[in-house]
Structure formats: structure tokens, C-alpha cells
Amino acid sequence: MTASALVFDLDGTLVDSRKDLLAAMSWLLGSLGYPIPKDEVIISHVGHGVRQFVKSCLPKSTGEDEARLESALELFKTRYGANLAEETVPYPGIREVLEALSKRGEAAWVLTNKPGYMARDICSALGLGDFLGGVLGAGDVPANKPDPSGLLEVCSRLDVFPSSVWYVGDMAVDVETSRRAGCKSALVTWGYGGEGLLREGSADRVLRRPEDLLSLGSS
């Protein structure tokens, strides 16, 4: 029995976008005269959408001021949007996995909290788009993860039952989204969540190598 579809998170799951995200956020904070946190602190805020990413990295007083937050958000989106794939790369083995899934006839989609147009541009620039049935992100679906509506939208477009779909991510929010949608969840350890997430023990499968993704189609 094969899975009806595999749906992937993007950042930290298919692509390593740390350097471009760090560069854009460091530029934003520096240009506004704010202190720049350590890299690992900045990256810890990735995964909940660009608005929350910017808000979490700004000083609390600025993040809670709607006008200042909106201004900072637009600056970040402009800077990051112009440099989406300068140093962003697929994780080793990911391109081969997606190609293998495509050859096997298995549907592979992306659902991310990153704005959809940015996610599509990244997948296109990195040559991943040819192996994906679709790429959806913020602005394409009713609400960001962990709201399950985006994942359910993918299931609807594929005309498959959620229970036959694997959602693959690298953070707790991905596992929660999968659960709420009624999908099966797989957690990868090479992304931004790391091995520490394993202690939370909530995913149906834990994958430590990209080639392990191929085993989901037979489970």
C-alpha cells in the first residue's frame, strides 16, 4: 500500500534557508538600530510565518506596536524577497528523493507558513518545482499552521482522505498541524528543530536521513 500523498514543510525540511533568513533579519535589526541576537536565537523563531518571525525578533515594545511592526515587516519582506535563494539550498539528497517520488507517481506537495509566492520562487530557483504537484503558503490558504485548514486544502485538491497523507516537517508546529488535520506525521531531525524535538515524542515517524522519506510511501 502506498501513501496517497506526501506533503512537506519547506524551511528546515526540504531547504536550508538559514543564511538568507539570518542575513535579512540581521539587516533589518541593524538598520533599525536594534541589537542583533545570536544566530540560533533568530532561527528559533522560524516556522510560524513571516509576521510572527519579525515580531519575535524585534524588541517587545516595537513588536507590540502595530504601526512599527507593519513598517518593519514590509522592510523585511522587501529585503528577504529580493534575496530568497542567494544561499538557500536543498538539503543533501532532497532533490533525489523528490525525483524518485515523482518517478514512482506519488504526489508531493509543499505547505509552509512562508508566504506562498516566496515559497514558489524558492522551489523554482532551486529546481524543485518540477517534482512538486503544488506549493501553498501564507496567503494561499485560510490560516497558518498549526491551523489545519491549509493541510486539509491540499487533501481536498488531491481528492484524498487526510488519513492517507503524510505531513513531513521539522518542528512541533508541523506535528500539531498534522494531528489536527487527521494526517500522519513525520518529523525530520536535520532541520531547525533538531534532535531535541524527539523528546516530545509526538510524531508517527522520526526520520534522520532524507532517503528515509522514501519509506513513507510503503507505510
Mean pLDDT, all residues of the chain = 92
Task: Map out the domains of the chain with their CATH numbers.
Answer: 5-16+88-218 (3.40.50.1000), 18-81 (1.10.150)
| Residues whose CB is less than 8 angstroms from the CB of residue 100 and which lie 6 or more positions away in sequence, other chains included | 214
Which pLDDT score is estimated for 193? 79
Contact 213, 168 (CB under 8 A): yes
Contact 56, 28 (CB under 8 A): no
Confidence (pTM): 0.92
Active site residue ranges: 9
153-208 pLDDT, tens digit per residue, is 999 999 999 999 999 999 999 999 999 999 999 999 999 876 656 555 589 999 99
3-class SS letters over 11-22:
ECCCEECHHHHH
Closest CA to 180 of 147, 158, 144, 155: 147
DSSP 91-136: PTTHHHHHHHHHHTT-EEEEEEEEEHHHHHHHHHHTT-GGG-SEEE
Question: Cα–Cα distances in Å, from 91 out to 21, 43, 54, 142?
Answer: 16, 17, 25, 29
Confidence of residue 96 (pLDDT cuts 50, 70, 90): very high
